Structure 1
Amino acid sequence: MLFDHFEYKGVRLAQKVYSEESIGYVENELKVLDDDIFNVSYPKSGTNWMAEILTLIKHNGDATICQSIPIFERAPWQELVGFQEKEKKLTQPRIISSHLPQHLFAKSFFKSKAKIIYTMRNPKDIIVSLFHFTKIVKIFKECENFQQLIEDFVKGNALYGSWFDHVKGWMQVKDDSRFFFITYEELLKDPRGSVVKLSKFLGKQLDDGQIDSVLKHSSFNNMKENKMSNWTQMKSDLFDHTKGSFIRKGVSGDWKNHFTVAQSEYFDKIYQEKMKDLNMSFFWEQF
């Protein structure tokens, strides 16, 4: 996965989009509020989808904000250059997105009552999503070799470093009452149940009609057509919208259309080795 990068405490980040100052601000200076809601994940795990769901839950199913303010403004990524300006415009409870690993997260979070929703996804599907993502985002040198992307992913050479380290780092706090983790696949399989659980975690009581509205406006088709959610409002100097869509398929298992049998077996072997010390199991671990 080729891009101009720098290393920050062992994590690979893209130049210009991030800086040591922007990461340092989050880590050491961000003042976390007790009602903050952090939307955290490794890239391409469902962050955009969760941001939409959280926005809708915050507004009791009212889609007005989702249809009038770009998603990267109403649930901005805290580690990006320029976040401090976006931060000033956020209304409480603030929804703040992040791909940062646990060891780089805002120190003030751990002294607050703020909450984190951590979304996980089958790493094979993440790799496929990254493969298509590199085609439209201009910070990347387009990846034509799928095998090389698999190699970069398992070696931690992707944006934000190792997926394995990211997951294992955040799972260290999985028993904290302020932490809620969910999988992309669970959201797909049981969207209503997932929204109910999320609402309860956030202390929100939505009636059936409000939940219906959350589900309707956070559906794949609605988000793909919503210009405030599909990233078509992002500047063309960062995105090449002619080469694909940010919201592409919204499915689970697309990796089967990209991985060869040999590649799948190769990845599974590395996965089992790297995850053997994590005392947890996920549905995709059925090798």
Structure 2
Amino acid sequence: MSQDKDYNQAILEAPEDLFYRFPLSLVHGVPLMKPIANNWEKIENFLARPDDLLIATYPKAGTTWMQEIVDFIIHDGDLDQANCAPTYVRSPFLEISSPPPIPSGVDVLETTPSPRMIKTHLQYKLVPKSFWEKNCKVIYVARNPKDIAVSYYFFDLMKQTQPDPGTWEEMWTILGWGSWFDHVINWWEAKDKHQILYMFYEDMKEDPKREIYKVMKYLGKKLPGEVVEKICQHTTFKAMKENPMTNYSSMPSAVMDHSISPFIRKGEVADWKNHFTEKQSKRFDAEYEKRMEGTDLKFRCTI
């Protein structure tokens, strides 16, 4: 546990000017933050272990939610275990590469005991090949692009040191379409090649207990009904929003400014209706239909 505390302490004690908006660099045609690109050789050569569990998502697709559900399942609903450290400590972020003195995700994972629960936002083609060579289990969570666009926008505002750069639509047009589409499609096409459980955010919101049972079955766990109910209660958005171990409130304001927008904001399906005009919605739908033509992958923007 000392390593976990050291990592968390390094973040808390880092000077504020260490954190700023990093420029992007291409890695195999995919734009990544420059520190990640600079550390790419180490990330690409990361050595997975057979009992590693990888939780993969496009940003703002329910990553923390799934991390908490899995952590509870693995530890049989033990609340003390789930609250022993912040989510980002219990489930290290594989590719994150902050400037020194903060250790990279790879550095942290190399000293993390097995079994490891690992978070990534990498596209399928960028995931270190050792995960497939070791036949690791992966849980992938996908979310509809309309809610992703809005959630990503508010998350981006948390990290601003400059005034609002524009609307969510402008940000999504620049960063979202190609990145989101490649992400969800490539993971969808890979799901039958490896041990990948492909899940949908909207299904999790519609019936959390049903989806928790799905994850349990995939992980080979059998838990009593009362434990499953406990997991449901402690992984609601209300519970996670109030829990300092999940809401990222321990992060310095230089990293995430919760006075602008909380990390766990709403978690609703169809919140996009509060932000899209009718014209924007139609334009978005047309682009979605064009990009998704020919695939059997389908998303629900309402439930």
Q: Confirm or deny a common fold (TM above 0.5).
A: yes
TM-score by length of structure 2 reads 0.85
Identical aligned pairs, as a percentage?
35
Is contact 1:120-1:184 (8 Å) kept?
yes
Instruction: Say whether 1:179 aligns with 2:196.
Output: yes
Instruction: Say whether 1:44 aligns with 2:63.
Output: no
Aligned to 1:199: 216
Letter paired with 1:14: M
Structure 1 segment 227-266 matched on structure 2, within 5 A: 227-266=244-283
Letter paired with 2:46: L
Higher deviation after alignment, 192-201 or 269-278: 269-278
Cα drift, residue 69 of structure 1: 0.4
Is contact 2:147-2:301 (8 Å) kept?
no
Cα drift, residue 108 of structure 1: 0.7
Instruction: Say whether 1:20 aligns with 2:38.
Output: yes
Distance 1:9 1:166, change over 3 A: same
Cα drift, residue 139 of structure 1: 7.8
Alpha-carbon distance between aligned partners in 1 of 2:141 and 2:163, rounded to the nearest angstrom: 27
Instruction: Say whether 1:71 aligns with 2:71.
Output: no
Residue segments in structure 1 that go unaligned for 5+ positions in a row: 157-161
Letter paired with 1:64: D
Cα drift, residue 3 of structure 1: 5.8
Residue segments in structure 2 that go unaligned for 5+ positions in a row: 1-20, 98-103
> Counterpart of 1:64 in 2: which secondary structure?
helix
Higher deviation after alignment, 262-271 or 167-176: 167-176
Higher deviation after alignment, 220-229 or 175-184: 175-184
Is contact 1:74-1:90 (8 Å) kept?
no
CA-atom RMSD in angstroms: 2.1
Alpha-carbon distance between aligned partners in 2 of 1:258 and 1:217, rounded to the nearest angstrom: 29
> Counterpart of 2:246 in 1: which secondary structure?
coil
Alpha-carbon distance between aligned partners in 2 of 1:60 and 1:175, rounded to the nearest angstrom: 28
TM-score by length of structure 1 reads 0.90
Distance 1:3 1:32, change over 3 A: closer
Structure 1 segment 1-287 matched on structure 2, within 5 A: 4-16=23-35, 18-21=36-39, 23-27=40-44, 29-81=45-97, 82-138=104-160, 142-156=164-178, 162-176=179-193, 178-284=195-301
Is contact 2:92-2:105 (8 Å) kept?
yes
Letter paired with 2:237: F
Deviations 1:100-150 (A, max 9, x none): 001100111111131110000010000000111111124887433233123
Larger fraction in helix = 2
Count of equivalent residues: 277
